[in-house]
Amino acid sequence: MNSYITTIIASVILLTTTLSSSRAHTNCAKDLHFFSKLQRPKQLDFIEFDYEGINFRAYGILHGVTGGLNATYRRFVNDSIEAINESTESPFLILAEKGMSTLYPKAKIDAELDDWLVLRPRDAFVLGLQLMLDPQSLRVLTIDFFEELLRKSDPFEHSRRFEDLGGSPFAHALTPQKRRDIAGFPAPLEGLEKDLERLSGKRTILPRPRKNIPHPAWARLLRMERVMHIPARSLHMLNFAAQYAKSSNATKVALLVGETHNSDMAAFAKANALDTLPEQLQEMVSKVSARAKKYGKLSAEGKVGIVLWSARGTYITSILLGSIAGLSFWMAIGSM
């Protein structure tokens, strides 16, 4: 149950980064030959950077609900993961966003990063509530899930339509920054500042429907953007991974994460980058980073004791309670 819930919730993340900005859609649609000339890459692209003495390669994956919007993309990701350590004498430690091991069971992933532990109990409750109470979010777990699972080929390969790019290997012919711009996400530090304000209670976590999104599935998923704390989870994963690597005596790490987490982490890893955030948020940065390092150390040493299990239990309990509350509403309506 724990693994299933985590996989479903983690799966929501990547599609929130699916290429969805209406402004970008309009601009790209004016230049159709741009898409027609895109070449399919052989493997996932990555961003390389150093942080705390560790060399990182961060791979941004459009994993959808089932690991990809179609079977072609899922094969593309699996092949890319398999190739990470094929041509290197010094292998990479492979760490992944929570749920990736379930989405890609054949991949040799060394550990997951427990990124959902960033969410406060109230965040997890609201997320579970929204997933069950909101008909559009509920569709993600039902109709969208089976549509992804049953879709075999990559529509973009033949259509070359903007709407199909988000679930295609061809998306990785674009740079991570270009994908981020098309998706309409703010600059990493700007996004982190707003997200830390949400974590500290200064901004709302309630749903914010995005307007004029060209694909209904993206609109459904982006309704949960605020409560999922994408930038704060990026900060957590970066520090968790760094500490896990140190405790494992590893110097090279391949990070398998949802799209935008990769460019977030590369930005946060730059020297003194986080110091530019407002002073009142520095304590929150330190809190998220220190907790992630503590969990990373415990996980690497195999000491997943009461501290880590308690955090995981709190998260799972909160999201289950929210889900039960949402389902109870519909059961009450049905019994009238």
Tell how far CA 78 is from the center of its chain.
Answer: 17
pLDDT at 225: 79
Decide: helix, strand or coil at residue 133: helix
Most confident region among 5-19, 197-211, 223-237 by mean pLDDT? 223-237
- pLDDT confidence tier of residue 217, bands split at 50, 70 and 90: low
Give the span between the Cα atoms of 213 and 15, in whole angstroms.
Answer: 13
- pLDDT confidence tier of residue 230, bands split at 50, 70 and 90: very high
Could you give the angle at the alpha carbon of 227 between the alpha carbons of 223 and 231, nearest 5°?
105
Q: Give the CA distances from residue 43 to residues 13, 61, 79, 264, 270, in Å, rounded to whole numbers and listed in that order.
A: 21, 11, 7, 21, 26
pLDDT at 291: 96
pLDDT at 126: 93
List of residues 6+ apart from 285 with CB closer than 8 A = 196, 235, 274, 277
pLDDT at 224: 79
Query: Residues 39-80: pLDDT tens digits?
Result: 999 999 999 999 999 999 999 999 888 999 899 999 999 999
pLDDT at 73: 95
Counted domains in the chain? 1
List of residues 6+ apart from 70 with CB closer than 8 A = 148, 151, 152, 153, 154, 155, 167
Higher pLDDT, 33 or 178: 178
**Residues in the chain, total:** 336
pLDDT at 313: 94
Q: Indicate the pTM of the whole model.
A: 0.88
Q: Is the confidence at residue 26, as pLDDT, over 60?
A: no
Higher pLDDT, 223 or 23: 223
Q: Which tokens go with 15?
A: 């599609």
Across 2-11, 53-62, 96-105, 291-300, least confident range: 2-11
Q: Which residues of 107-136 are buried (b: 16+ CB within 10 A; e: fewer)?
A: bebbbbbbbbbbbbeebbbbbbbbbbbbeb
Q: Is the confidence at residue 14, as pLDDT, over 50?
A: no
Q: Is the confidence at residue 21, as pLDDT, over 80?
A: no
Mean pLDDT of the chain: 86
Return the residue matching tokens 């982006």: 222
Instruction: Report the side by side order of strands in the sheet with 93-96.
Output: 47-51, 54-61, 252-258, 93-96, 111-112
Q: Which domain holds residue 49?
A: 2-335
Higher pLDDT, 22 or 63: 63
Query: Residues 96-150: pLDDT tens digits?
Result: 999 999 999 989 999 999 999 999 999 999 999 988 988 888 888 888 889 999 9
Q: Give the CA distances from residue 194 to residues 13, 129, 197, 208, in Å, rounded to whole numbers and listed in that order.
A: 18, 23, 5, 14
